């Protein structure tokens, strides 16, 4: 095992069940067919990561973290 692999920690994954509108799933399947996403899970993780990052930036802009110390 290389040093880089030893240093990298595996992110613990948890299984969740969600319900999404059919049109979302159809569009995710299109992204998979276009080889833009490898799987549904990765598409949803990417969308969630981008949403949380955006919301975090919005909260910083609103000084949320300073007010709640």
How many angstroms separate the CA atoms of 45 and 3, rounded? 27
The total of structural domains in the chain comes to 1
Per-residue pLDDT at 30: 98
Question: How confident is residue 56, by pLDDT bands cut at 50, 70 and 90?
Answer: confident
The answer to whether 28 and 43 are in contact (CB under 8 A) is yes
How many angstroms separate the CA atoms of 54 and 34, rounded? 26
Residue 45 lies in a domain: yes
The token pair at 4 is 């880089």
Q: Is the pTM of this model over 0.75?
A: no
Strands (E) in the chain, as ranges, are none
Domain span at residue 54 reads 38-69
Residue 1 lies in a domain: no
Residue 32 has pLDDT above 80, yes or no: yes
> pLDDT > 70: what percent of the chain?
83
């Amino acid at each position: 095992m290389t040093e880089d692999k030893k240093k990298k920690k595996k992110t613990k994954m948890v299984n969740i069940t969600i319900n999404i509108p059919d049109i979302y799933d159809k569009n995710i399947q299109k992204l998979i067919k276009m080889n833009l996403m490898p799987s549904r899970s990765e598409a949803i993780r990417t969308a969630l990561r981008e949403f949380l990052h955006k919301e975090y930036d919005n909260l910083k802009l609103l000084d949320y973290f300073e007010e709640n110390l």
